[in-house]
């Protein structure tokens, strides 16, 4: 495989990793700022998207390893 594919998978994995952590942090901030009441549905959506993004970054890194 050409080296460009490995470079693209590396970039995509890092973007997904950073995006996942940011969504989890945003979800935590919104959850703690909502006070003692139930957090809004947005918090659960942020957690789901963050975990999915982190999982996809791990899958992309496994694909990158197979490209070597």
Chain segment 3-57, per-residue pLDDT in tens: 888 889 899 999 999 999 999 999 899 888 877 777 788 888 999 999 999 999 9
Predicted confidence (pLDDT) at residue 1 exceeds the cutoff of 90: no
pLDDT at residue 56, as a whole number = 95
Q: Which two tokens stand for residue 9?
A: 């998978």
Contact 5, 67 (CB under 8 A): yes
pLDDT at residue 63, as a whole number = 87
pLDDT at residue 61, as a whole number = 93
In the three-class reduction of DSSP (H, G, I as helix; E, B as strand; rest coil), residue 35 is classed as: coil
Kindly list the distances between the CA atom of residue 47 and the CA atoms of 8, 28, 32, 35, in Å, as whole numbers in the listed order. 26, 8, 14, 18
Record the pTM: 0.83
pLDDT at residue 59, as a whole number = 94
């Amino acid at each position: 495989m050409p080296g460009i594919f490995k470079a693209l998978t590396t970039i995509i994995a890092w973007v997904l990793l950073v995006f996942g952590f940011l969504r989890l942090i945003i979800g935590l901030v919104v959850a703690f700022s909502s006070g003692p009441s139930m957090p809004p549905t947005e918090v659960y959506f942020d957690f789901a998207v963050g975990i999915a993004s982190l999982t996809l970054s791990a899958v992309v890194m496994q694909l990158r390893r197979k490209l070597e």
